[in-house]
Amino acid sequence: MRIAYFPGCTLNTTAKGFDNALRASFAALGAELVELPEWNCCGATFPLLVDNMLDLVAPTRVLLAAQRQGDRLAVACTMCYNVIRRTNNRLRSDADALEKLNYFIEAEYRGGVEVLDVLQILRDDVGFEAVQAAVKKPLTGLKVAAYYGCMVLRPPTEVAYDDPENPHALDDLLRALGAEPVEWPHKAECCGAYLAVKSKEATAEMSYRILSSAQRAGAQAVVTNCPLCQFNLDKQQLDMGRRHGGYQPVPVLYFSQLLGVALGLDTADFGWERHYVDVRPLLESLG
Amino acid sequence: MRVKLSAMRVRNDLVRRIEELSGQDLLACYQCGKCSAGCPAAFAMDLLPSQVIRLVQLGLVEEVLNAKTPWFCAACQTCYARCPKGVDLSRIMEAIREIALQERGDYLVIEEIPAEELAEFPQLAFIGGFRKYTA
Amino acid sequence: MAIAPIQRVLIIGAGIAGMQAALDIANAGYEVVLVEREPSIGGRMAQLSETFPTLDCAQCILTPRTVEVGHHEHIRLRTYSEVEAVEGQLGDFRVRIRRRAAYVNWEVCTGCGLCQEKCPKKVISDFERGIGPRKAIYTLSPQAVPNKPVIDRQSCIYFERGKCRACEKFCPTGAIDFEQEDAIIEERVGAIIVATGYDLYPLSLLGEYGYGEVPDVIDSLAFERLLSASGPTAGQVRRPSDGAEPKEVVFIQCAGSRDPELHKPYCSKICCMYTAKHAMLYKHKVHDGQAYVFYIDIRSAGKRYEEFVQRAMEEERVLYVRGKVSRVFRENGKVMVWGTDTLSGQNVEVAADLVVLAPAMVPKAGSDVVAELLDLATDEHGWFTAAEANLQPVETKRAGVFLAGAAVGPMDIPETVAQASGAAAQVLSLFAQWAERNGNA
Ligand SMILES: Cc1cc2nc3c(=O)[nH]c(=O)nc-3n(C[C@H](O)[C@H](O)[C@H](O)COP(=O)(O)OP(=O)(O)OC[C@H]3O[C@@H](n4cnc5c(N)ncnc54)[C@H](O)[C@@H]3O)c2cc1C
Ligand code: SF4
Ligand code: SF4
Ligand code: SF4
Ligand code: SF4
């Protein structure tokens, strides 16, 4: 299987490890992510004002680039997925908007591209059973908290491919890898997203709630599919001990990193050095 | 102080503008509070999300323009996902931010962010932040 | 009309509505065929503990009625049965009824209960709303009318594996009959009353409230069973997870009601009242417990209803919190409730021991089949619609077919009974007109 792939700015830079691990894992599973030959930033947030057409231009360009490659687009970054998918929904349901945007981009996007999250592709096209069969180093004994954030769940009618209140796709994948996903209540609570740039206090508090709940449930690591969640949760821990005495940091990983590890791939370029809370000791303890 | 309600006040220009920008029917909200109850950022807000809508219903837009709440909405959509009336509060918050940004200028000054932090932020955090906090 | 119209009535559903109509008509001297899907009669009311606003013991006021229906010379009771086909018209309906195989010969069964005692197979009971057991051979309750058991083929060990027959071995009358088959019964009637009642909205559709995931989140009917002396805890309030007495109990109203976006747009009308009752009865049982009721508005528009709610607040010290709960989840052995109090503008959290949800009322499963059989109109939610909402609330567009009780929409017992008597009066009026015409002819 080959599928057109949009990595997005963040996976091209700070979350390069997410991207490397993902591509390598997909390749090992016989699914090739073919990066769009030309692409641009999607804009990172879906414009919420009715008449804000301008901010739809960038994601429409991405859709146009995808249309040239076929009818399906894989997106790894959950924020990009959210923006591109919602833009696509709008263009498909609003002929007026489609016409305006086509005029802006001086091309014809026809609305035919299916925007898919990479986890969804793993589940529906590759299949978790196939993933399980390909596992070389099962993550036996590793207790993980699957954390979904907002972007692949809400708004449910527009973007969710999972149960929006009790999502389980990521838990199921981690189980297929041999890990033990813990039951915990804050899988889908918001980490604060871009509040990080304006209010450290708010993001720190939101991250703390999530991380402390995961740890109460016994998780040794938090696993996510969102680069902004990963950043917030990981980085906020640096001075969490100061705010919350006795707090013990917990590694925050991308699911693709664990996927690559379980598939027995070379993990040298998985971006371990980028993590604020070092992941390696935990992985080494797995043997 | 007693707030004077009148046709002028409850349908004032800013109320209409919020409705237009957000595409939401403010009077659809029946003030059940479910949005507030689930809002993950409510602890940092000075008005609960449902109070923001309520004030706009009453025509008291100045109060929400002065509030912190719209700036703390993370657009997480938890409220919208569960709202029994299908009110998309994140759009109302964006509309209020838009009016505030136009009237009062940027909420975020890039120079205020320490350079080393700026370098660390994932792209999407500051692109997102700038979209939300600057005109 | 060529042949004289038949002065008999078919009533579908033997809840309090169907029973009331049956008794009214039978006591006037006419014959009633009363068809009930369950093994015994009483409907939802048989599951209730006490009734608002009088706090009468539901079982105590219901049992005389069920017994009367069970013994009435003019009532032919067909339980464990459903109507399969209806032909004809006003004055002469031909009805085919399928009586499911009970695998027990009710003619000889004495209702001694030994079979239920000896049956080794325990299953979760629907009647107990999932918080209590029954056996594979069962009656709904010890007060069941008729008090004769049925074998649930799905869970019976003999039907599954070909051996067991414990019930057969112990039955003193030889009533067990594994060879029994469904029976088809034909009846002719002149009029029909539909009284199929209601169900509760499936709470699995409200994922944010944790029902089905968190054992100590239960629905209102389960709470009725917890309060009932005949229920699985013999009337003690115990939470399902560990049997402990809950000290902090949260009641959440409007779970799925008044929610046009995601669930049901209408108000279910009775849940404000029964929630006040629940909170009150809880306090009667657990004196040192704290009850919280999360509500949007309180609907208590009935005789002595508002007084009842105020009593819950003042005398029973129930704390009413105005705001909808957004999320319920389990953490640290508690059921965490995230709500808001819109009156003070504060978000609130309760670490509860038990959460009781008041789900929307919805039409009884299978009422769409009944509607089709009888060619009756239903609204967009599946409730039966009356011929004319204002002046003909129990009549339908189909001549000779009437409606009673919560099959029409959310309704409490007094309204249900009044409606059922109304439907019975319509039928009796028809019968009287026919008698007069025949007499004159
Ligand atoms: C938790 C709770 C507490 C309540 N407490 C009170 C209270 O305190 N006071 C009060 O006034 N009201 C109370 N009510 C409301 C009360 O339950 C109803 O008003 C009443 O049960 C309605 O009676 P009914 O006969 O119309 O319907 P039901 O009780 O639902 O009876 C319908 C009967 O029809 C049968 N049936 C359905 N479909 C078919 C079919 N196709 N073929 C054959 N049979 C069929 C069913 O098996 C059932 O026996 C409460 C309700 C709930 C949920
Ligand atoms: S959840 Fe919806 S209806 Fe309820 S207060 Fe919030 S916006 Fe209004
Ligand atoms: S979208 Fe904004 S108001 Fe709504 S729940 Fe999220 S942070 Fe709160
Ligand atoms: S043991 Fe026999 S007689 Fe007694 S209740 Fe069971 S079937 Fe009826
Ligand atoms: S009766 Fe009360 S609890 Fe029930 S739906 Fe209506 S307002 Fe809500």
Going by C-alpha positions, the residue among A82, A49, A69, A61 that lies closest to residue A2 is A69
Can you tell me the distance from the alpha carbon of A130 to that of A121, in angstroms, rounded to the nearest whole number?
12
Amino acid at B102: Q
What is the structure's pLDDT at B38?
A: 98
Q: Is the pLDDT of residue C440 over 70?
A: no
For A263, A271, C167, the CA distances from A280, given in Å and listed in that order, are 17, 11, 62
Q: Is the pLDDT of residue C154 over 70?
A: yes
Q: Is the pLDDT of residue C208 over 90?
A: yes
C108-112, Cβ contacts within 8 angstroms, sequence gap of 24 or more: C108/C173, C108/C174, C108/C175, C109/C148, C109/C149, C109/C171, C109/C173, C109/C175, C110/C172, C110/C173, C110/C175, C111/C139, C111/C146, C111/C147, C111/C148, C111/C149, C112/C172, C112/C173
C344-350, Cβ contacts within 8 angstroms, sequence gap of 24 or more: C345/B47, C345/B48, C345/B51, C347/B36, C347/B37, C347/B39, C347/B42, C347/B43, C347/B48, C348/C321, C348/C323, C350/C248, C350/C250, C350/C292
**A213: nearest CB among C207, C213, C331:** C331
DSSP-assigned states of every residue in A101-116: HHHHHTS---S-PEEE
pTM of the model: 0.96
The verdict on A81 and A157 lying in the same domain is: no
Looking at per-residue pLDDT, the higher value among B131 and A151 belongs to A151
The verdict on A243 and A146 lying in the same domain is: yes
Going by C-alpha positions, the residue among A173, A53, A45, A65 that lies closest to residue A113 is A65
Average pLDDT over residues A37-57: 93
The verdict on A160 and A237 lying in the same domain is: yes
The verdict on A35 and A145 lying in the same domain is: no
The verdict on A7 and A33 lying in the same domain is: yes
CA of B79 to the centre of ligand 3 (A): 6
> What is the tally of structural domains in chain A?
2
Amino acid at A72: R
Burial of C388 (0-12, 13-18, 19+ CB in 10 A): exposed
Distance from CA of C396 to the nearest CA of A (A): 38
Question: What pLDDT digit, counting tens, does each position of B66-88 carry?
Answer: 999 999 999 999 999 999 999 99
The verdict on A50 and A98 lying in the same domain is: yes
Amino acid at A56: L
Q: Is the pLDDT of residue A260 over 60?
A: yes
Which domains does chain B show, CATH number per domain?
Answer: 7-131 (1.10.1060)
- Is the residue at A195 inside a domain? yes
- Is the residue at A237 inside a domain? yes
- Is the residue at A228 inside a domain? yes
- Is the residue at A130 inside a domain? no
Q: Which domain holds residue A243?
A: 136-286
Coil, helix or strand for C212? coil
What is the structure's pLDDT at A47?
A: 94
The verdict on A282 and A171 lying in the same domain is: yes
How many percent of chain C have pLDDT more than 70? 99
Is the minimum distance from the CB of C258 to ligand 5 under 6 angstroms?
yes
Distance from CA of C204 to the nearest CA of B (A): 14
- Is the residue at A273 inside a domain? yes
Q: Is the pLDDT of residue C290 over 70?
A: yes
8 Å CB contact of A228 and B75: no
Return the ∠ at Cα A154 (arms to B122 and A53), rounded to 5°. 70
Q: Sorting pLDDT into bands at 50, 70 and 90, what band is C51?
A: very high
The verdict on A214 and A253 lying in the same domain is: yes
Coil, helix or strand for C211? strand
What is the structure's pLDDT at C343?
A: 98
Range in B100-109, C183-192, C301-310 the model is least confident about: B100-109
The verdict on A144 and A243 lying in the same domain is: yes
Ligand 3 binding pocket, CB closer than 6 Å: B 35, 39, 41, 49, 73-79, 89-90, 93
Ligand 3: atom nearest CA of B78 is: 5
- Is the residue at A94 inside a domain? yes
The verdict on A156 and A76 lying in the same domain is: no
Indicate the DSSP class of residue C301: -
**Residue showing tokens 């409220």:** B79
CA of C129 to the centre of ligand 4 (A): 25
Q: How many CB atoms lie within 10 A of CB C440?
A: 6
Question: What pLDDT digit, counting tens, does each position of B23-42 carry?
Answer: 999 999 999 999 999 999 99
**Residue showing tokens 């918080």:** C131
CATH, residue A157: 3.40.50.11810
What is the structure's pLDDT at A139?
A: 97
- Is the residue at A123 inside a domain? no
With contacts defined as CB-CB under 8 Å, which chain C residues touch B38? 208, 326-327, 338
Among B24, B25, B29, the mutation site with the greatest number of ligand 2 atoms within 8 A of its Cβ is B29
CATH, residue A34: 1.20.1050.140
Q: How many CB atoms lie within 10 A of CB C241?
A: 16
- Is the residue at A200 inside a domain? yes
The verdict on A171 and A266 lying in the same domain is: yes
Kindly report the backbone phi and psi dihedral angles of residue A8, in degrees, each rounded to the nearest multiple of 5, phi listed first. Answer: 85, 165
Q: Please enumerate in sequence order all residues whose Cβ is within 8 A of that of C200, keeping only pairs 6 or more positions apart, or say none.
A: C219, C220, C221, C359, C360, C361, C362
Looking at per-residue pLDDT, the higher value among C194 and B106 belongs to C194
Which domains does chain C show, CATH number per domain?
Answer: 8-99+182-197+364-440 (3.50.50.60), 114-170 (no CATH), 202-360 (3.50.50.60)
Those residues of chain A whose CB sits closer than 8 Å to some CB in chain B are 8-10, 13-15, 41, 43-45, 47-51, 55, 77, 79-80, 150, 153-156, 164, 189-190, 192-199, 201-202, 205-206, 209, 227-228, 231, 235
How many percent of chain A have pLDDT more than 90? 93
The verdict on A8 and A114 lying in the same domain is: yes
End-to-end CA distance of chain A: 32
